[in-house]
């Protein structure tokens, strides 16, 4: 064996011993490397768990004027889909007069609808995350105190209030209040809807051309039914997400 | 006693039909109803939530679909339904017309101004890095926070200005450590913590970044152009295949300095300077052929090619029509369409169906090309009718959407009517048929043509002769069409039907209008001005929506007016006495000089519209002239001439009396007078000559005396008297008289035999009915032809009776025909009045009789219906016909296709008809009467064999007293305050004499006679009319007792009749009411007063437009102040109905007022006609001044500030340019007083802002305290 080779072996040995010493010295305090994975990262876990349900809610609501179960609506079928209940967001049953805003706090309403729809799932997701952790031999102490929804441009934020304390091999970790971001344009579409409603309620009219010229990222379709209802469909050109609602305003009857 | 006219069978049937008209008009009034004078507005209730889920809806008080308790007031007076502005503070969003309850329930802040013209909701330009948004300041705060920018909110007024700002944001390289670079705006760079190098690209060599120039090309979100990108992915300058030119030495190159500036560069290979406003935008190339040299991108063409092959620029909009438009000739089923070119795609906006909206277009001439802007605006056709109420044709002509229809058929039949230039469409299903019928009925007019028989016995037309020509029918049908979907006209594909009926003039077939089915290229409805279109686009639709209240109201006015036109035209013509003095024709301004005046050599002006000068009197005048002529000769001519003149006078007088006695009029009467005069003259001359020859004495004196005594009205008679008195030569005058009598009587007999001078009125009648679609359904699918003109119910139903719209609740409804079948409708009996019954009903016949009687009592209203087993149109006649088209009369439903068909008539008594000379035996005719009916279904199948309704009319004596049908004013209605007497009318079911009294006494004892129409043909729409002036209004409730006596043609109350064959004696007795009709009218106890009007004085607003609520309160009058109020902004303009009225609080919101001085005239009127008027003046000021601190003092350890207006004051210890959000407030809400704890030795930088958000640039005041 040459001298050089011996030196390399010695250095290697020192490194190995050092590593082992270091490992045994601090092994009880090290956070498991698994934390970045879905199984142990609550945000990632909850996001994957809640996103589907939230998107489902949006998919149901958006073509129905923002209602999961439309109450004040009518059935209508567009050629590219099935019959849908389209809610009136602004309505008057009288002739000539502007419509009355049926959902003046539209954003609040959307939050409530989504929240109600996913409420059970959020708690279930939280619980299944805890179960998963337990299955991974973590000792878990948790509490769930509900959640909130925030709508924002291009996203929905689901803020889950709760606390999770995990312990495994002597290591404890406390995490609280989780936030899930779900990309969607529902908020952006709803803001446009609210502007349309405001103008219909004030001026009996919304100018489609002006809007589309100034806001080319949206496509706005305006359809007048035989009953003088107007169905607005706002489409986000990038995501192809749609929001559809009906307005009945300043209806002019036949004859004089 | 009635005059005896000859009545033919046809005329008798016409009397039935007149009676039917009565029913047609009162059909919707129940028999107990009285004539409505003022149509009362339906009372509103508020439904907080309907069963469907709609919140806060104003509904009628009998609404049954309300999920909550119906509140007996308008929603605006219900706290939770009051409409206002709902502010979402968290989002910084404002929503208009929001119910208070719903807003607050969901966490919003509610404010009164329903249009959100409030400080919190004012929009401005919010700069968010590279982007801008036109939003409220609160929303700007939220978004700035969300995206991590400092708030940059700019007070710009329009969205366009804001977007222009986006383009002007300076950009540059944002450099970070290690040569990392991002091309962005300064604010974004600041946010990211980089070093900003304005105007430079990241690839600029001197910046020493890691980014290499022009590595790729692509599109940028929110930008139009194709850009170069550097190796770091940063946007560089606009693409040009000339790389160096595009790179511009690493400096930003402005769009206007880039390649191809000012053009769209569509499909250019070398230049990516696309221009959205010129119709191009960066896009990935789909074909691969059209792409720039350095990548798969292209300036995509966003322009469109319209239906005529014309290129339309992106953003351009234009109007498309189905048929000819304007001049009141829009075709049935036609619609106005707005088309738009948006991003290369043509989109369609149908204007409201039934032409509730019209498409107006304005063209803007740009550089080298036109750019058109179109808008769907409210059709003001209803408003046009309102101009007729005060014959305001000037306003009509000034209104672009109205047109004056000038009816000028003849001198006695001319009038102007203001109608919609683009008539509105009617519901064709028949559901609104009565409304359509009333509207079309405006053009149902009569023209009375006067005929006079000449000496040869030929009838010669003298007046309104053109009414019998095609011109009458044409002009009237044009008017009819312009009222809506009425008359003989076409649908939008050029198919049509005849829905007018012309009597005594040629019909106008719908085929004459086929040419109007084609739209005229280049013809479009012009906006009143470009501002109107822009207003719509700028969302200012308020004027129109406000105008609707007026439109709705003006409808009644229009109807009222046109009714007046109708009746005045008829009545003025019927009022003509052909031989009378000159007759002033109201509206026509024509006079007809009578033959008598011409002959008399002078012009006599008769009373306006008068008919008092009759032929006989005309003759008298001529006679007088003759006598005076005789006087002129006295003393200068020989006695024989004087005697001749006297004889002429006598003869003419005799002629005149004979004309009267024989009932001879006009030229014949003049002729008779002249003939008498000539005979008298010759006889007088001859007798005098004979007398002179035989006595040879006193010759000249007789004539002189004769002439000199001629004076006064009856010249001839005086002359005669004079002769006898002064001369004693009685013979010549007697001879003249005798000869004149002989000649005149002979001539009169001859004239009577040949009928010379007889007159007759031919009534030319135009009936305008609602338009009905053609039979069948062959053309239904034409509605489905054009995807850019989607079918609608109205369009579909206009194409055929058998057309129905399927899949109405889908995007593509389809118009299809009902299956064709060949069976005619099966007719069966329907309903009938309680005291009548159907008998012996068979497959195609039935009989009607009065219960318990064989026949129907005379004058008894008969009302029954027949049913068909399918939708059908029915007709009837009293004589047999060969086919459906030969039948002329429609039931009450007119030409409507329905399953129920109502027939109504009332048949006069035999006695009443016997007062006329009839050519048939009335009793015989009445004993066997048949009504023949045929119905035709939507496919045109009709009954070959008529359905027969058999009945008979009681031919015995009339034993029923008259019945009161209606009154005007309405029974139990209010009369004006202070009324002592009013004209009143009652209507009876048969001709009668009537009286009234304020005591309930017998007919004979009643003290006030009424003036009654007692002739059979004087039947009005509501029956036979009696009129009077009611006196004795001295109580709150005034009762008038009315009793009538029928058969006015009987001279005595009871007439003995002996049957010549049987010698049987019967009595005809006039029937008298034994019980009075009680007609009650209530007095208004007080005047109607306007108790308050607001606003008054000075009003301030922080920005324009300013919302002003006009509120008027009324009290007193007929019904505790309940009234209808109108307003106007200048004395001479037409009034507009308040938006909220028909109560004692009247409200109108003006939401687009600008600063200035205003005066508003208000007029209120209640049901009784009490009127209250007032004005209000106010000044709208725009408050743009910041509040001023007028006093500062220290008290109780506090610094106190007083401002000159209500304000909020904030302070900071360091500087004046602080943000209000971060500063401390000195004020509890808005106040003039502000305070803060005093700290010695401290400097307070105080800034105040008023309720409109006005604040100064620096501090309002700086306060230093000393220890």
CB-CB: which of A104, A204, A228 is closest to B102? A104
Distance CA A72, CA B301 (A): 42
Mutation test of the interface with chain A: which of B54, B1137, B1147, choosing the one with the most A Cβ atoms within 10 A? Answer: B54
Residues of chain B with pLDDT > 70, as a percent, come to: 83
* Cβ atoms of B1106 and B117 closer than 8 Å: yes
- pLDDT tens readout for residues B470-508: 999 999 999 999 999 999 999 999 999 999 999 899 999
Q: Which domain holds residue B211?
A: 170-302
CB-CB: which of B103, B160, B382 is closest to A104? B103
Query: Could you give the number of structural domains in chain B?
Result: 8
CB contact under 8 A, A226 and B436: no
More confident call, B204 vs B583:
B204
Beta-bridge mates of residue B732: none
Residues B1174 and B1229 in one domain: no
User: Is the CA virtual torsion B869, B875, B880, B881 positive or negative?
Assistant: negative
pLDDT at B28: 32
pLDDT at A88: 97
Judged against a pLDDT cut of 60, whether residue A62 lies above it is answered with yes
- pLDDT tens readout for residues A189-242: 999 999 999 999 998 889 888 898 888 889 999 999 888 899 999 999 989 999
The verdict on residue B619 lying in a domain is: yes
pLDDT at B535: 54
Residues B1216 and B1167 in one domain: no
CB-CB: which of A74, A103, A254 is closest to B427? A254
pLDDT at B1184: 82
Place B49 in a pLDDT band, splitting at 50, 70 and 90.
Answer: very high
User: Pairing mode, if any, of strands B357-365 and B525-526?
Assistant: parallel
Residues B214 and B287 in one domain: yes
Judged against a pLDDT cut of 90, whether residue B771 lies above it is answered with yes
* Cβ atoms of B723 and B730 closer than 8 Å: yes
Mean pLDDT lowest among B518-532, B1034-1048, B1075-1089, B1181-1195: B518-532
The verdict on residue B434 lying in a domain is: yes
CB-CB: which of B96, B281, B354 is closest to A101? B96
Section B191-216 average pLDDT: 91
* Cβ atoms of A231 and B809 closer than 8 Å: no
pLDDT at B42: 46
The verdict on residue B687 lying in a domain is: yes
Residues B485 and B559 in one domain: yes
pLDDT at B246: 94
Alpha helix positions (H), B869-948? 910-914, 922-927
- Residue A71 half-sphere exposure toward CB, CA atoms < 13 A: 12
The verdict on residue B395 lying in a domain is: yes
Distance CA B831, CA B148 (A): 78
Residues B1031 and B976 in one domain: yes
pLDDT at B1253: 81
Section B946-967 average pLDDT: 86
- pLDDT tens readout for residues B818-853: 999 999 999 999 999 988 999 999 999 999 999 988
Distance CA B1239, CA A11 (A): 72
The verdict on residue B214 lying in a domain is: yes
Mean pLDDT lowest among B39-53, B98-112, B337-351: B39-53
* Phi, psi values for residue B502, rounded to 5°: -115, 130
Neighbouring residues of A216: CB distance < 8 A, sequence distance ≥ 6: A237, B222, B276, B281, B343
**Which residues in chain A are closer than 8 Å to B330, comparing Cβ atoms?**
none
**Residue A92 contacts B, CB cutoff 8 Å:** yes
SS3 B908: coil
Section A37-48 average pLDDT: 77
pLDDT at B167: 67
- Element counts in chain A: helices (H) and strands (E): 5, 9
* Cβ atoms of B361 and B525 closer than 8 Å: yes
CB-CB: which of B484, B544, B812 is closest to A255? B484
The verdict on residue B1139 lying in a domain is: yes
**Which residues in chain B are closer than 8 Å to A253, comparing Cβ atoms?**
354, 356
CB contact under 8 A, A255 and B357: no
Distance CA B863, CA B832 (A): 6
CB contact under 8 A, A253 and B354: yes
CB contact under 8 A, A252 and B317: no
Residues B992 and B1009 in one domain: yes
Q: Rg (Cα) of chain A, in Å, rounded?
A: 28
More confident call, B926 vs B394:
B394
CB contact under 8 A, A205 and B56: no
Section B66-90 average pLDDT: 90
Distance CA B414, CA B419 (A): 16
Residue after which a domain boundary falls, among B890, B918, B951: B951
Residue after which a domain boundary falls, among B1121, B1149, B1182: B1182
Which residue has 């919101």 as its token pair?
B1149
CB contact under 8 A, B436 and A255: yes
**What average pLDDT does chain B have?**
81
Place B776 in a pLDDT band, splitting at 50, 70 and 90.
Answer: very high
Residues B639 and B716 in one domain: yes
CB-CB: which of A77, A213, A252 is closest to B315? A213
Distance CA B385, CA B393 (A): 10
Residues of chain B with pLDDT > 90, as a percent, come to: 44
Residues B650 and B716 in one domain: yes
CATH number at residue B1103: 2.60.40.1220
Mutation test of the interface with chain B: which of A102, A105, A244, choosing the one with the most B Cβ atoms within 10 A? Answer: A105
* Cβ atoms of B1144 and B1113 closer than 8 Å: yes
CB-CB: which of B222, B315, B432 is closest to A254? B432
Neighbouring residues of B60: CB distance < 8 A, sequence distance ≥ 6: B42, B43, B44, B45
User: Is the CA virtual torsion B1031, B1032, B1037, B1040 positive or negative?
Assistant: negative
Residues B600 and B737 in one domain: yes
CB contact under 8 A, A254 and B52: no
**Which residues in chain B are closer than 8 Å to A72, comparing Cβ atoms?**
52-54
* Phi, psi values for residue A48, rounded to 5°: -70, -30
Which residue has 């007795």 as its token pair?
B1069
Cα torsion at B869, B873, B879, B882 (round to 10°)? -90
- pLDDT tens readout for residues B982-997: 999 999 988 899 999 9
C-alpha distance from residue B137 to each of A141, B141, B152, B467, B1206 (Å): 45, 6, 9, 70, 21
CB contact under 8 A, A255 and B83: no
**Residue A195's closest chain B neighbor by CA?**
B95
* Cβ atoms of B414 and A234 closer than 8 Å: no
Judged against a pLDDT cut of 90, whether residue B147 lies above it is answered with no
pLDDT at B1050: 82
CB contact under 8 A, A254 and B426: yes
The verdict on residue B576 lying in a domain is: no
Judged against a pLDDT cut of 50, whether residue B444 lies above it is answered with yes
Mean pLDDT lowest among A79-93, B569-583, B1137-1151: B569-583
- pLDDT tens readout for residues B1216-1266: 878 887 788 999 888 999 999 988 888 999 999 988 888 887 889 999 888
Judged against a pLDDT cut of 80, whether residue B1210 lies above it is answered with yes
C-alpha distance from residue B128 to each of B146, B147, B162, B216, B905 (Å): 10, 8, 12, 27, 78
**Which residues in chain B are closer than 8 Å to A106, comparing Cβ atoms?**
95
pLDDT at A19: 64
pLDDT at B288: 64
The verdict on residue B887 lying in a domain is: yes
Residue after which a domain boundary falls, among B1157, B1182, B1207: B1182
The CA distance from B467 to the nearest CA of chain A, in Å, is 29
Q: Residue A224 has which token pair?
A: 């007048």
Q: Which of residues 94-133 of A touch B (CB under 8 A)?
A: 94, 96-109
Section B466-473 average pLDDT: 94
SS3 B1163: strand
Judged against a pLDDT cut of 50, whether residue A128 lies above it is answered with yes
**Residue A241 contacts B, CB cutoff 8 Å:** no
CB-CB: which of B52, B436, B812 is closest to A79? B812
* Phi, psi values for residue B720, rounded to 5°: -60, -45
pLDDT at A10: 75
pLDDT at B1203: 93
Judged against a pLDDT cut of 80, whether residue B639 lies above it is answered with no
Distance CA B963, CA B1044 (A): 9
Judged against a pLDDT cut of 60, whether residue A132 lies above it is answered with yes
CB contact under 8 A, A107 and B805: no
Judged against a pLDDT cut of 80, whether residue B465 lies above it is answered with yes
pLDDT at B16: 52
Mean pLDDT lowest among B132-146, B438-452, B1096-1110, B1232-1246: B1096-1110
Q: Which of residues 23-82 of A touch B (CB under 8 A)?
A: 71-79
Identify which of B251, B225, B250 has the alpha carbon closest to the alpha carbon of residue B240: B225
Provide ipTM, 2 decimals.
0.85
């Amino acid at each position: 064996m040459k001298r050089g080779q011996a030196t390399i072996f010695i250095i290697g040995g020192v490194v190995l011993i050092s590593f082992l010493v270091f490992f045994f010295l601090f092994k009880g305090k090290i956070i498991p490397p698994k934390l970045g994975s879905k199984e142990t990262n609550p945000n990632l876990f909850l996001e994957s768990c809640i996103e589907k349900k939230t998107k489902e809610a949006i998919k149901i609501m958006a073509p129905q004027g923002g209602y999961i179960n439309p109450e004040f609506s009518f059935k209508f079928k567009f050629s590219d889909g099935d019959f849908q209940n389209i809610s009136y967001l602004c309505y008057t049953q009288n002739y000539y007069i502007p419509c009355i805003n049926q959902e003046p706090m539209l954003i609040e309403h959307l939050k409530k609808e989504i929240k109600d729809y996913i409420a059970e799932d959020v708690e279930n997701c939280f619980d299944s995350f805890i179960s998963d952790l337990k299955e991974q031999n973590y000792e878990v102490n948790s509490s769930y105190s509900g959640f909130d929804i925030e709508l924002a441009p291009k996203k929905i934020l689901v803020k889950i209030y709760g606390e999770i304390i995990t312990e495994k091999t002597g290591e404890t970790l406390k995490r609280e209040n989780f936030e899930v971001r779900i990309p969607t344009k529902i908020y952006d579409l709803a803001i446009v809807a609210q502007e349309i409603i405001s103008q219909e309620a004030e001026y009996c009219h919304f100018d489609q051309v002006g809007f589309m010229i100034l806001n080319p990222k949206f496509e706005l379709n305006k359809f007048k039914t035989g009953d003088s209802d107007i169905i607005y469909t706002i489409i986000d050109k990038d995501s192809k997400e749609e929001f559809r609602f009906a307005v009945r305003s300043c209806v002019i009857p036949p004859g004089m | 006693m009635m005059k005896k006219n000859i009545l033919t069978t046809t005329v008798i049937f016409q009397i039935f039909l007149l009676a039917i008209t009565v029913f047609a008009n009162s059909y919707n009034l129940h028999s107990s109803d009285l004539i409505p004078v003022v149509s009362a507005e339906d009372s509103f209730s508020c439904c907080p939530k309907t069963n469907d889920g709609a919140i806060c809806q104003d509904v009628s008080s009998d609404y049954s679909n309300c999920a909550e308790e119906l509140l007996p007031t308008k929603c605006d007076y219900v706290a939770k339904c009051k409409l206002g502005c709902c502010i979402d503070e968290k989002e910084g969003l404002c929503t208009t017309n929001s119910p208070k309850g719903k807003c607050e329930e969901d966490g919003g802040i509610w404010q009164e101004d329903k249009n959100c013209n409030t400080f919190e909701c004012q929009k401005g330009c919010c700069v968010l890095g590279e982007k801008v948004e036109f939003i409220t300041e609160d929303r700007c705060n939220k978004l700035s926070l969300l995206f991590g920018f400092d708030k940059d909110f700019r007070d710009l007024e329009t969205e366009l200005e804001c977007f222009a700002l986006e383009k002007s944001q300076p950009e540059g390289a944002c450099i970070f450590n290690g040569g990392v670079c991002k091309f962005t705006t300064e604010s974004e760079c600041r946010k990211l913590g980089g070093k900003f190098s304005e105007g430079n690209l990241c690839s600029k060599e001197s910046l020493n970044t890691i980014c290499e120039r022009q590595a790729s090309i692509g599109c940028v979100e929110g930008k139009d152009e194709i850009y170069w990108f550097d190796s770091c992915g940063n946007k560089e300058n606009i693409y040009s295949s000339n790389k160096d030119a595009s790179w511009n030495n690493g400096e930003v190159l402005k769009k206007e300095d880039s390649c191809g500036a000012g053009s769209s560069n569509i499909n250019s290979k070398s230049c990516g300077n696309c221009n959205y406003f010129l119709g191009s935008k960066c896009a990935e190339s789909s074909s691969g052929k059209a792409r720039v040299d350095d990548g798969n991108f292209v300036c995509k063409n966003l322009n469109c090619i319209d239906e005529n092959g014309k290129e339309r620029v992106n953003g351009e909009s234009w109007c498309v029509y189905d048929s000819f438009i304007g001049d009141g000739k829009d075709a049935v089923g036609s619609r106005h369409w707005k088309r738009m070119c948006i991003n290369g795609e043509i989109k369609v906006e149908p204007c409201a169906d039934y032409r509730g909206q019209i498409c107006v277009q304005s063209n803007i001439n740009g550089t080298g090309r036109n750019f058109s802007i179109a808008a769907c605006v409210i059709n003001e056709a209803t408003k046009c009718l309102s101009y007729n109420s005060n014959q305001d044709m000037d306003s009509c002509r000034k209104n672009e959407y109205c047109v004056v229809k000038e009816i000028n058929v003849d001198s006695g039949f001319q009038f102007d009517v203001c109608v919609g230039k683009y008539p509105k469409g009617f519901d064709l299903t028949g559901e609104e048929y009565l409304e359509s019928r009333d509207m079309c009925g405006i053009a149902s007019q009569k023209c009375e043509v006067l005929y006079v028989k000449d000496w040869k016995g030929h009838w010669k037309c003298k007046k309104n002769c053109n009414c019998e020509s095609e011109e009458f029918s044409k002009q009237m049908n044009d008017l009819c069409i312009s009222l809506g979907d009425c008359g003989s006209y076409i649908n939008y594909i050029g198919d049509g039907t005849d829905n007018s009926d012309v009597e005594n003039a040629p019909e106008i077939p719908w085929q004459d209008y086929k040419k109007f089915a084609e739209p005229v290229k280049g013809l479009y409805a012009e906006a009143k001005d470009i501002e109107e279109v822009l207003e719509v686009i700028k969302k200012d639709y308020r004027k129109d929506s406000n105008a609707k209240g007026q439109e709705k109201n003006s409808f009644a006015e229009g109807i009222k007016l046109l009714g007046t036109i109708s009746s005045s035209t008829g009545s003025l013509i019927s009022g003509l006495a052909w031989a009378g003095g000159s007759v002033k024709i109201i509206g026509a301004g024509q006079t007809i000089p009578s033959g008598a005046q011409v002959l008399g050599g002078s012009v006599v002006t008769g009373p306006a519209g008068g008919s008092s000068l009759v032929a006989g009197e005309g003759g008298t005048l001529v006679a007088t002239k003759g006598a005076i002529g005789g006087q002129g000769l006295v003393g200068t001519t020989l006695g024989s001439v004087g005697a001749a003149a006297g004889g002429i006078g006598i003869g003419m007088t005799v002629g005149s009396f004979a004309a009267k006695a024989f009932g001879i009029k006009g030229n014949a009467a003049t002729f008779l007078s002249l003939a008498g005069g000539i005979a008298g003259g010759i006889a007088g001359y001859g007798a005098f000559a004979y007398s002179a020859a035989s006595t040879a004495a006193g010759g000249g004196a007789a004539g002189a005396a004769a002439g000199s005594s001629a004076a006064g009205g009856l010249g001839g008679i005086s002359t005669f008297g004079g002769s006898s008195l002064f001369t004693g030569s009685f013979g010549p005058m007697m001879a003249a008289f005798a000869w004149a009598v002989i000649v005149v009587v002979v001539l009169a007999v001859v004239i009577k035999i040949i009928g010379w001078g007889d007159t007759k009125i031919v009534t030319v009648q135009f009936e305008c009915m609602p338009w009905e679609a053609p039979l069948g359904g062959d053309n239904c699918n034409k509605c489905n032809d054009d995807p850019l003109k989607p079918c609608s119910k109205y369009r579909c139903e206009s194409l055929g009776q058998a057309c129905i719209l399927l899949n109405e609740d889908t995007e593509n409804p389809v118009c299809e025909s009902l299956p064709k079948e060949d069976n005619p409708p099966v007719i069966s009996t329907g309903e009938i009045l309680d005291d009548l019954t159907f008998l012996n009903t068979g497959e195609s016949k039935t009989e009607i009789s009065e219960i318990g009687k064989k026949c129907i009592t005379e004058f008894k209203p008969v009302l029954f219906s027949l049913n068909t087993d399918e939708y059908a149109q029915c007709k009837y006649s009293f004589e047999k016909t060969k086919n459906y088209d030969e039948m002329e009369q429609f039931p009450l439903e007119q030409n409507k296709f329905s399953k129920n068909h109502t027939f109504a008539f009332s048949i006069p008594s035999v006695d009443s008809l016997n007062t006329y000379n009839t050519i048939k035996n009335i009793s015989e005719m009445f004993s066997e009467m048949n009504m023949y009916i045929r119905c035709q279904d939507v496919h045109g199948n009709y009954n070959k064999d008529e359905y027969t309704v058999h009945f008979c009319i009681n031919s015995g004596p009339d034993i029923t007293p008259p019945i009161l049908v209606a009154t005007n004013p309405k029974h139990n209605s209010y009369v004006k305050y202070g009324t002592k007497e009013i004209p009143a009318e009652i209507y009876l079911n048969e001709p009668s004499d009537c009286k009234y009294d304020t005591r309930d006494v017998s007919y004979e004892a009643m003290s006030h006679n009424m003036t009654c129409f007692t002739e059979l043909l004087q039947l009005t729409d509501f029956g036979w009319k009696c009129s009077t002036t009611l006196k004795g209004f001295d109580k709150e409730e005034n009762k008038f007792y009315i009793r009538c006596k029928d058969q006015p043609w009987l001279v005595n109350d009871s007439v003995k009749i002996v049957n010549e064959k049987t010698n049987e004696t019967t009595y005809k007795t006039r029937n008298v009411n034994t019980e009075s009709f009680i007609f009650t009218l209530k007095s208004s106890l007080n005047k109607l007063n306007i108790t308050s009007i607001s606003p008054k004085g000075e009003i301030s607003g922080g920005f324009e437009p300013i919302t002003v609520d006009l509120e008027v309160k009324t009290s007193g009058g007929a019904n505790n102040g309940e009234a209808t109020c109108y307003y106007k902004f200048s004395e001479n303009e037409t009034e507009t109905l308040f938006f909220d009225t028909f109560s004692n609080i009247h409200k109108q919101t003006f939401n687009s007022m600008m600063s200035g001085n205003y005066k508003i005239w208000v007029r209120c009127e209640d049901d009784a006609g009490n009127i209250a008027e007032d004005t209000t003046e106010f000044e709208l000021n725009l408050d743009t001044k910041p509040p001023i601190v007028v006093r500062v003092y220290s008290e109780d350890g506090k610094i106190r500030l007083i401002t000159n207006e209500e304000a909020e004051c904030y302070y900071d210890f360091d500087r004046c340019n602080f943000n209000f959000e971060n500063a401390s407030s000195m004020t509890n809400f808005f106040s003039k007083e502000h305070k803060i704890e005093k700290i010695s030795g401290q400097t307070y930088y105080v800034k105040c802002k008023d309720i409109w958000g006005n604040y100064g640039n620096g501090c309002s005041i700086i306060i230093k305290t000393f220890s």
